[in-house]
Amino acid sequence: MLRLAVALLGGVMLLVGSLSIEPAAAGTTLRQACTNGFDENWNPCGVATTVTTVPGTAGSASAKNTAPASDRVCRQRIGSGSDTAVVPCTFQGGWWVDDQQCYIKALNPQPDKSDPRWQNNTTGAVYMCVALGADARYLTRFFWRATQPAEIPAVDPSVLAQQALAALQLRPIRMGMVPEDKPGYVGLVGMPVWMWVDTPDPHTYGPATNTASDGSVTVTINAKVAKTLWEMGDGKSVVCTTAGTAYQDSDGKQPSPDCGYSYTKQGTYTIRATTTWDIAWTANTGQSGTIPLTLTATRTVVIGEVQVIVH
């Protein structure tokens, strides 16, 4: 009986209107809802993630939601009297809400604001409520609420933002330099050193966009590199706010127009290129935030000195 009551919550049958009655369908297997990385039985699960710029796989949940209190007992009223029956508090993606006497979940995606189920409201959310009526028939209705029912675990948008960021699979840059880091390649003291981001892409330099959703909450994240700090290995550094310009043979001994350096002493130097990312997220709940991120790549360069022999 209970399985029939909540099968509709998994999206097998969506009925439009304030109250609809349909015969129950037995034996339906439905996908369990995932809230903050855990399903209604508090087993780890993946949060739905849609990559809009860079393909990737969703990361694991970085924060565990607190399970409903173990002493909570959910009861369904029977008939018009005071009799009740104990029912599971969570089942097939729905959460039992006492004052509604049904399993509830937020519609995802939410209907357009012109839908009458919004009741002329523009905030809050529209929920689906499913219970089992007489003769094993579904009782389905939709309602609007300004705030999420207390029985439904809250979704933390910042957790979704971290999952969306992990799915982007951002990486350190590929360092482009002249002189090159190859056997036999030696730069000279006082000669220009060119630095740039070799073949920048959304994973290494941005811009990259991703979204992650859980229930009715959707977070959009935007990421791009704000600057690159080149630590030259001699105690000095250069900050470049562009990807730099790749050296061409025709450039000769000219310095880089936007990201360059020159050494004053010979030696072998380890260079670190650290990108600082500008990452911002917004949620359809009105919340927003930023995520700090730096990524570092390294390479070495050999600098020699021209020897002048006087006879």
CA angle 197, 51, 31 (to 5 degrees): 150
Burial 130-154 (b: 16+ CB within 10 A, else e): bbbeeeeebbbbbebeeebbebbbe
Decide: 246 and 258 in contact? Cβ < 8 Å. Answer: no
Domains identified in the chain and CATH numbers: 2-145 (no CATH), 157-304 (2.60.40.10)
> Across the chain, which distance is largest between two alpha carbons, in Å?
116
What are 195's strand-pairing partners?
Answer: 177
Q: How far apart are CA 144 and CA 106, in angstroms?
A: 10
What are 270's strand-pairing partners?
Answer: 300
**Sequential pLDDT tens for the chain (311 residues):** 333 333 344 443 333 333 333 333 333 223 334 444 444 333 444 443 333 232 222 232 333 333 344 467 888 888 777 888 888 887 766 788 888 888 888 887 788 999 999 999 988 888 888 887 666 677 888 989 888 888 877 788 999 999 999 999 999 999 999 998 888 888 899 999 999 999 999 999 999 999 998 866 789 999 999 999 999 999 999 999 999 999 999 999 999 999 999 999 999 999 999 999 999 999 877 789 999 999 999 999 999 987 666 66
